[in-house]
């Protein structure tokens, strides 16, 4: 792909990782625009770009405006942009593409399906990008931009992006909460999560090339009522956890494998 001129809106984790990845791929970051000028200045320094807090200050030669702000801010940012013919795309899993329809001719979604942490290096080349565009040319252009930084590109429309987000809440947000619950259960007895960490890792890694439905283990799938009752007795003083234990066990038992 040719060198493109990119404006980044936002200065959080996603904005930071994308700006650096674009620079590494040979693109030019024209400007980083954020309400938080300090953060914007930090990314600007790393990517040899300008920074600003004026959302309307889009240079005329801009090819892409990547809106990497919090979900609740996308719509307001969209209304302030003045991007001419640049392609505008947000990076959210939950916001409709049409948030841009009254403010731009060419727009879409550039959604990296990964957890980003500012401090942590990430192999962005493995990150799945979900792309959507309001017309074929825009979709192609956003796909090409994504391909310049990752080898894992998917065309996903807004309806399916919502489905993906629901699935991600189960597979990632809820699983992290169960890690948290496990850590708490152990801490009460002065046991460290360290003792469980290898199993947590293996449980995730084994679904990388297999279907999780074929890998279910534990008392619920074997129908081991005695153990489940022991566990519920242990959780009797924690009614919320006991209820989660029951609901999940029922769900595992009812699942048609």
Interactions with a second copy, residue window 154-213 (CB under 8 A): 154, 156, 160, 162-186, 188-189, 191, 193-208, 211-213
Backbone angles phi, psi at 110, to 5 degrees: -135, 80
60 or 163: whose CB is closer to a second copy? 163
Integer-rounded Cα radius of gyration of the chain: 22
Strand-pairing partners, residue 153, are 129
Interface segment toward a second copy; rule CB under 8 A; list 1-9, 33-41, 98-106, 244-252: 244-252
Interface segment toward a second copy; rule CB under 8 A; list 46-54, 100-108, 132-140, 214-222: 214-222
Contact between 145 and 21 (Cβ < 8 Å):
no
SS3 at position 136: helix
Closest CA to 132 of 116, 162, 108, 107: 108
Distance between CA 63 and CA 56 in Å, rounded?
A: 15
Binding string, residues 8-47; x marks residues near a second copy by CB under 8 A: ----------------------------------------
Contact between 96 and 160 (Cβ < 8 Å):
no
What is the DSSP pairing of strand 107-112 with strand 129-133? antiparallel
SS3 at position 154: strand
Min separation Cβ 70 and a second copy, Å: 9
2 or 119: whose CB is closer to a second copy? 119
Q: How many residues bind a second copy (CB under 8 A)?
A: 88
53 or 173: whose CB is closer to a second copy? 173
42 or 203: whose CB is closer to a second copy? 203
Touching a second copy, residues 69-108 (CB under 8 A): 71-72, 94
Out of 130, 131, 142, 145, name the contact with a second copy by CB under 8 A. 130
């Amino acid at each position: 792909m040719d060198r493109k001129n990119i404006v980044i809106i936002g200065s959080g984790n996603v904005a930071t990782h994308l700006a650096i990845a674009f620079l590494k791929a040979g693109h030019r970051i024209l400007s980083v625009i954020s309400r938080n000028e300090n953060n914007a200045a930090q990314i600007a320094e790393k990517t040899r770009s300008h920074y600003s807090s004026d959302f309307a200050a889009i240079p005329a030669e801009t090819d892409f405006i990547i809106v990497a702000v919090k979900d609740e801010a996308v719509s307001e940012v969209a209304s302030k942009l003045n991007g001419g013919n640049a392609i505008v795309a947000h990076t959210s899993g939950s916001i409709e593409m049409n948030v841009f329809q009254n403010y731009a001719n060419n727009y879409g979604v550039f959604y990296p399906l990964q957890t980003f942490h500012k401090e942590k290096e990430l192999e962005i080349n493995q990150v799945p990008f979900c792309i959507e565009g309001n017309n074929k040319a825009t979709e192609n252009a956003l796909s090409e931009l994504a391909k310049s930084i990752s080898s894992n590109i998917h065309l996903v429309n807004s309806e399916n992006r919502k489905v993906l987000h629901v699935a991600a809440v189960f597979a990632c947000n809820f699983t992290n909460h169960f890690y948290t619950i496990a850590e708490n259960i152990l801490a009460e007895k002065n046991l460290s999560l360290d003792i469980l960490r290898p199993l947590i890792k293996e449980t995730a890694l084994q679904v990388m090339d297999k279907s999780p439905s074929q890998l279910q283990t534990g008392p619920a799938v074997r129908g081991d009522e005695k153990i489940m009752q022991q566990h519920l007795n242990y959780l009797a003083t924690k009614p919320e956890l006991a209820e989660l234990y029951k609901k999940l066990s029922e769900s595992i038992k009812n699942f048609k494998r």
